[in-house]
Every structure is written in structure tokens, then in C-alpha cells.
Amino acid sequence: MDTAPRTIIVGAGFAGLAAAVRLADAGRSVVVVEATKAGGGRSRSFHDKVTGREVDNGQHLMMGCYRETLAFLDAIGTPAGDIDLQTNLALTMLKPGGAKVELDCPSLPAPLHLAAGLLRMRGVGVLHRAAALRAGLLLRGEIARPDDNETCDAWLRRLGQTSTIRAAFWEPLIWAVLNDDPLVASAAMLVAVLERAFMASREASSLAVPRRPLSSLYVDRAVARIEARGGEVRFASPARKLELDPEGQVSGLVLKSGERLVADQVITAVPPHVLLELLPDAARDHLVFRDVARLESSPIISLWVTLAEPLLDRPFVGLIGSPLHWLWDRDRLESSAAATKPGNNLLSVTISGARSFVNDQPDALRELLIGELTRFFPDARPTIQAFRVVKEKRATISHAAGTYRRRPETASPIPGLSLAGDWVRTGLPATIESAVQSGHDAAQRVLSPR
């Protein structure tokens, strides 16, 4: 048994690594224990034998308003060129048949940039664009804010949004940021994102896309940073149980290997179901953890495809009225030489909130893809060479209306235990930014306990 006082962090995804870097930079002794061999959690990359390429578990998108994430990436020395941050928000959506709807916001101060962008949106009639502007009244406090019980659908109706602007703007945004159906997703969670993205500054709403696979973007660099400051990251070391002393204060952790680690502070940065397994049996009855047990999850399916010829004329597009929400030309995103070279173009496809598809076999998903590509690109007839499905059944918690109160605070009811992870109560939906913020909040709690 090792007896040095220190903080143990369970989980090496965005949340755990952000907490560990913050603590290590503050001179704290940290040990990160991670179940898998490579970490990264739900934001990871791996070498895929089918496509022969380095792929992510799913294409990830960030925004200029991801302040905590950008600070974390900066702290670990990520070169600015590794993230493609738009100067102004610009987005292309395709209608069946291939007609484009384009949002292209001008260089005006927020939120005028969005108002002007919506007003001159191409491919949508003026009445629909004007309807979208009503959301600005809410952001300016002139219309009652939704509470967590109101669904996005009800809120959009209250704001008089037309079905056209819903399909071209709101629904893609909701599926993307809440990973759930607008019929069930919480409008309060959506508004939390709208405020951060559209009210603060023009740059806050710009989209930011990683230019390299996720593990090399942040996992490798964060681990190097922690180790350079004397910390330790132990891969392939799954935690089994938290240990408490007779007063109920955290005293350490037992790994599945049976090894016992002593610590005066533990930060868990794992998904909800793993936290519940780690808790001593008696603690699970606490109301806070009973609420955690009631959180549900929402899946994401990613399809990785190599095509004989590039299909897209830009890095990514959204599809209007399709179960396939986004298509990403990974070669263009990475600006790799393959972007212009025919024969092996890597395309990624995102199906968010994929409950209806999560049990489908790869053949059925391939058929779905071919059908939708034919519908949206009738002239292209793309040739699929390799096809790989990545299903993340627990991609995020479900942000169904009325569920925010089940998310726990950083400070757990167990002294010495802080909770991190994209799903804790950060005020944000479960995203990279929420994960990193939760990690920073947990580190802050260790550094300045109240």
C-alpha cells in the first residue's frame, strides 16, 4: 500500500485530464487512473483497420464559446493550427436534391452578427428568417425564459417558429448540441448554449473543428504535461471501489487489480453508471446518487466511409430532414494531402440521438447511408470502398426536459469526493466544454476547499 497524500482522479477523458492538468500545474501530487489502454473516453481516436485510417469515435465540433476547453488546450500546448476556428459563424445545410441553405454571419458585434446572418440566410424565405429573429427577444430578456420543464418543441412553438426555419436552423442545432429529439429535449439547456454562443462576442458562435485525431489533439499532450509536473497517469488501471474512513471521509481507492491507493481527495471523472459502481454500497442510497441513477443516456452513431472520389465541396454540411445529421470530409478538415487525391476520401457521418438506429446491423446502416446520399446528392453516385460503424450507446446523458435537477453538484455528499464529467451540474449540456468546466471546477474545489 502506498501512503503519500495526493489527489486521485478516476478517468482520463476531457474532464479527468483537465482536472489533473489544473492540479499538477498548481503543484499538487496527482495520479490519474484510467480503465482503458489509451484514455480519451468518449472523445478519442483509434487506428481503424477497415478504413485503414486514424478515426475518432465520432466527429467532434467545438465553438468559440468553449472558453474552458480552449484554455485547457492552450495549457497543454496545443498549437493554434490544430483547431480550425471560423472567423465568423458560417454553416451550409443541404435540402433533399442538394439545394443549399447558407448561414453566413458578417463581421458585426454580437448578437447583430447573428441577426444579420439570419436575415440574409440563403435558401429560406424572408418570413421564416424573420421568425428566427424572435429568439433574439428571448435572449434580450423580452420574452419569458423557458424553465427546464419546457421542451424545445414547445418553446419553438411559443416563439412562433415556422416549420421551415425549424428544419433549416433550430432542429439541426438542437440535435447537435443536446443530442436529443426537440420533442423531448429541454429548452433551458438550449438557451444556456444560445446565450454563451450568441450573446457574448462574435467569435463565441464560430465553429471550431479539430484538424487532427482527438487522442493526439489532447490526450497525449495532457499526459505529457501531467508527467512533466511529477504526476502519474496509469492506463489499463480500472478503479473498482472508493474507500471511506470510519468518519465517512474518502481515504482512497481500490483498483480492479486489488491494488489499494491512498488519497485524501478523489475526483471521479467517469460516466454516471460508473460512478454508481464505484460508490460504497451504503452511499448509493443518498438522494443525490439516487437521482444520478435516474439519468438516462442518448446514443450517437458515427459512420466512417472511404469514397473513391470526394463528395463534399467543403469541410462539412448538415442535411435537412434526414436521420443523418452531418457529413464531414475528414481529409479537408485535416487539410491532409489525401483531400485532393482521389481513391481514399474519408467521410464521417453523424447520427445524433440515434435511439431508433442503435440496434441496427451495419448492413442496414449502410443501406440507410446509400439511400440518403442518393436523396441529397442525386448526381454524385459515390462509390463506397470501406464502411465502419462506431456506436456510442451512452454518448451523452439525455437532456430530456425536467431532468437537469438530477445532475449532481461538484461537491458530493461524501467528504473528499468531488464529481466531474460532462454530466454534472455545469449549467451546460453534456459536451466537451461541460466536461472541461467540470474538471476545472473539481480541481478548484480541491485547491480551495470551503
Ligand X SMILES: Cc1cc2nc3c(=O)[nH]c(=O)nc-3n(C[C@H](O)[C@H](O)[C@H](O)COP(=O)(O)OP(=O)(O)OC[C@H]3O[C@@H](n4cnc5c(N)ncnc54)[C@H](O)[C@@H]3O)c2cc1C
Kindly list the residues in this chain that would bind ligand X in the complex (CB under 6 A): 10-16, 33-36, 39-43, 57-58, 60-62, 238-239, 269-271, 274, 300, 302, 392, 395-396, 421-422, 430-433, 435
Calculated CA dihedral for residues 330, 98, 169, 354, nearest 10 degrees: -60
316: burial class by Cβ within 10 Å (0-12, 13-18, 19+)?
Answer: buried
How many angstroms from the chain centroid is the CA of residue 86?
A: 18
Helix axes 14-25, 220-228, angle to 10 degrees: 20
Query: How are strands ordered across the β-sheet holding 384-397?
Result: 100-104, 90-94, 316-319, 326-329, 345-351, 297-307, 384-397
Q: How far is the CB of 432 from ligand X (least distance, A)?
A: 4
What residues contact 9, with CB distance under 8 A and at least 6 apart? 16, 19, 20, 23, 30, 31, 32, 33, 266, 267, 269, 420
Q: How far is the CB of 8 from ligand X (least distance, A)?
A: 10
Q: How far is the CB of 401 from ligand X (least distance, A)?
A: 20
Q: Would you say 124 or 305 has its CB closer to ligand X? A: 305
Q: Would you say 117 or 439 has its CB closer to ligand X? A: 439
Q: Which of 93, 13, 94, 47 is nearest to 390 (CA)?
A: 47
What would the grid cell of residue 198 be? 450568441
Q: How far is the CB of 257 from ligand X (least distance, A)?
A: 11
Helix (H/G/I), strand (E/B), else coil: 158:
helix
Q: How far is the CB of 97 from ligand X (least distance, A)?
A: 27
Query: Which neighbouring-strand residues pair with 7?
Result: 30, 265
Q: Would you say 150 or 181 has its CB closer to ligand X? A: 181
Q: Would you say 62 or 159 has its CB closer to ligand X? A: 62
Q: Would you say 128 or 175 has its CB closer to ligand X? A: 175
Q: How far is the CB of 381 from ligand X (least distance, A)?
A: 28
Q: Would you say 136 or 421 has its CB closer to ligand X? A: 421
Q: How far is the CB of 160 from ligand X (least distance, A)?
A: 29
Q: Would you say 112 or 236 has its CB closer to ligand X? A: 236
What would the grid cell of residue 437 be? 468546466
Q: Helices (DSSP H) in 287-394: which residue ranges?
A: 287-293, 330-333, 362-376
